[in-house]
Amino acid sequence: QGGRIRYDQELFRLFPQARLAVIRQDEKISSYEMLIQNKQVRVHFSAGADERYWPVCLASMISKYIREVVMYSQNAYFLDLCQSLRPTAGYWQDGQRFLRDLSEKLPDFAFEPHQLIRTL
């Protein structure tokens, strides 16, 4: 995702009870071994995996579809509140523009940015 090499800190955050060992971290693959409740789990993050592995390709397509459905629903919700808002595609730069517009055009709408920004 976006050229990331190290995933160990995210894995620690998601699985604080796990013991984590780094197997490999480079531009092509980042691999980890975790011990969670006496079960050994290996996790691999591989550049281009969606081009090489059918299950990863399918998961990627489903995730992209779900993202589009969520963005459509989110835009519909906010445009119902204020028709002059421009919808967002949800990517970083446009998302920042949307948050600014939201604050300006709906100043009474209370939200914390972390409620609308993906953090993982």
pTM for this predicted structure: 0.70
Q: Which residue has the tokens 């459905």?
A: 69
Number of structural domains (the chain) is 2
- Band of pLDDT at residue 2, cut at 50, 70 and 90: low
- The whole domain housing 13 covers 8-47
Residue 3: inside a domain, yes or no? no
Write the pLDDT tens digit of every residue in 36-70.
Answer: 999 999 999 999 999 999 999 999 999 999 999 99
Residue 32: inside a domain, yes or no? yes
Residue 85: inside a domain, yes or no? yes
Same domain, 34 and 73: no
Same domain, 74 and 96: yes
The secondary structure of 71-110 as a DSSP string is HHHHHHHHHHH-TTSPP---SHHHHHHHHHHHHHH-TT--
Same domain, 56 and 78: yes
Supply the mean pLDDT for the chain: 91
